Each structure stands twice: as C-alpha cells, then as structure tokens.
Amino acid sequence: MTRLGNPTQPHQKIKTRWLALIALGLIASLLLTERLVPRKIAPQISEMIVAARTMQSAMSVLRAEKMQRGLMQPLDIDINQTGMIGAEFTGITTTLGELPAKRTATNPDLAALIVKLVSTLKLPAGSPVVVVISGSFVGADIATLAALEVLDLRPILIASLSASMWGANDPGFNLLDILSLLRQRGIIKTKAFAAVIGGEGAIGAGMDKAGIAALRASAERENIPLVDARPVSVMIDQLLSKVIQALPQGQNASAVINVGGALIGLGTCRESYEMPPGLLPKPVCHDGTPGLVFRLAEQGLPMLNVLNMRRLAIEYGLPFDPVPLPVPGNNMAIYGQISESSNEADARGKK
C-alpha cells in the first residue's frame, strides 16, 4: 500500500513564512514611524537637562567629600553611590524614613521634573520663590535649588536642619555643611537666610544635645540665624516676618515650595498629612497649626509640594528606587511636553 504524506504540511510552511514576513513588516513599520514622527519634547528641555546635570555634579562632589571623611554609605545603603544618602540613626535623626524613597529623590530627572512643573507657572526671571527644605531628602533639596536657579528664579530658602533616617543626619556634615560645600564648588548659589533645628517642636526637643550643638555651630559658621521661638505658631510668625524682610524691595513672593516634611513647612494641619505631591490648589487648614508653606499658599501663592516620593514617582513617571540612575534626557514621561488640557485636568483631580 502506498503511504500518503500529510497534504497540509506544505501549506502550513507557507502560512508560517507569510506570518513571519507580516510580523517583520509590522516591526519595520513601527520603527520607521518612531523615526519619522517627531516626539513632543518639553519646551524647557535645555533647562531640564542643565538642572539634571547639576544634580550629577553635586553627586560627584558629595561622593568625594564623604569618601574623604569616611562617611560614604555602603552599596547596600547608597546603592548608586550618590553621596546623598545618610546613616540610619545618629544624634540628629528625628524620625523613621523610607530608604527607597530617599534613593528615589537622588534621581537627576527629579530636578528636570521640577523645572517642568515650575515652568508652567510662567514666573518672570528674578521672581522670589519661598522654599522650605529639611535635611530628610538631600536629593530633593538639591534638585529644587538646581531647578530654580536654572530658571533664573530667586529662592528664599529656609532650612530645617535635622533629618529622618538616611537623610543629612551626620552632625559633622549636616544639611548646612552640604549646601555650603556645593556653593564653594560652584554647583549651586543659594544660601539659606534662616534655619530651625527641626525635630519635635522644630526646636530639637528630645534630640541628642551634642547633635543640637553641632547644628547650632554649623549655623554660626554660615552666619545663618536660627529661629527657636515657642510655640510653633510664634515660630511661623517670625519666619514669615523674615520672609517679608528677605523679599527685594517692591516685590512679593511669586510661589512657595515645600520639600520634605518639616514642621515649619506644613505645620500640624490634618490636611498636611494628606496632601499629594506636585502643584496644588490653595490649601485649607481645618484643624492644627498651619506651617509657613500653608500660610503663604493661603494668600494665593502657587504651591509645589515635593514629598511622598512613591506617589510622586507613580504620578509623574519617575522610576522608584532605580538602579542604576537614569541618564538625563531619556525618560519621555519627564522630558515630554505637557499639554494645557492635561495640566488643567491634573489640577482638577487634586482639588
């Protein structure tokens, strides 16, 4: 008996070849489209790249300094060796902190994102912007200053000096020392015009006495006045007066930025614990003492909140706890253009 072969086998081979050719054609078409269709990049792309590279320069300086001082954290802590991550517990550590969040704040693209967000406010060059920072997020502090400086805005900086875990919590190389070094090396220009110890009551209640003494010594070396009035409401009043004194004659503050969770920034309002990151509408404090950022935003100043790094990463397209750190300019979620309609929708969603 003559055996018959499988009559469908040649047709299956032909069909498979055609499918492969079609797939290759689709891939080629997609690649060609990607090359021919221009990507919508943010109009501030140059400033964004400069701010991100400023962050990279700051890392190089801090890494070298911490290595020389024997303060550089090991790879399992400062995984990208940024020099922007501190120790777990020290004499000026105030509260618990999330290490991956601290590392996320070291991403140079955070500086680019802040440029992008602040640019939507269309502030004239030289506009004063009040900035409250804490030692908890060194990366976010530097990113904010880099962004404002590249936009030719004038930061009026108030610093809360102590830090949560993994922040600028080395008493001998604290937040003021870090900013001073970066100014000396020409990385940033801004100097704080006032500071508080931070921690409980913003006066270091319950903190190590030697740690407080080290913070006071740093402020004295930098000739930066420390405000330590009690209670917190009086301290906020005094800081607000200092802001007014620091404003150029005839100018008002144009915006206010909060970086980290310093008491002097957000206060004790219940709403402060619920605020999302990003540009926010006018805040309302129903219960508690409003901090400096609340007080200024209540007057109608635009407010940017740089906090809650996990949520910020999700909402704005930053990778959370990236290894290695991204190369500036590659993340189109950051460097792409924001449409006016999406800005309006985002603002409505955060009301």
Distances in whole angstroms, Cα of residue 20 to Cα of each of 29, 30, 39, 84:
14, 15, 29, 50
Query: Which residue from 82, 97, 64, 253 is spatially nearest to 164, judged by alpha carbons?
Result: 97
Residue-level pLDDT at 284? 85
Residues of the chain under the 70 pLDDT cut: 1-39, 338-351
pLDDT digits (tens, 9 = 90+) for 4-56: 445 445 555 555 666 666 666 666 655 554 454 456 999 999 999 999 999 99
User: Which pLDDT score is estimated for 2?
Assistant: 45
pLDDT digits over 158-208, tens only? Answer: 999 999 999 999 999 999 999 999 999 999 999 999 999 999 989 998 889
Strand arrangement of the beta sheet that strand 255-259 belongs to = 194-196, 154-160, 128-134, 255-259, 303-306, 278-280
Q: Check the CA dihedral 189-194-197-198 and report its sign.
A: negative
Cα 119 to Cα 148: distance, rounded to the nearest angstrom:
10
88's tokens = 């777990």
Locus of tokens 């913003």? 202
| pLDDT score, position 244 | 94
Short-list 47, 41, 37, CA closest to 337: 41
For position 32, what pLDDT does the model report?
52
Residue 273 DSSP one-character state: G
Distance CA 244, CA 227 (A): 15
Tell me what pLDDT residue 250 has. 86
pLDDT of residue 73: 98
Query: What is the per-residue pLDDT for 286?
Result: 87
CA distance 261 to 292: 12
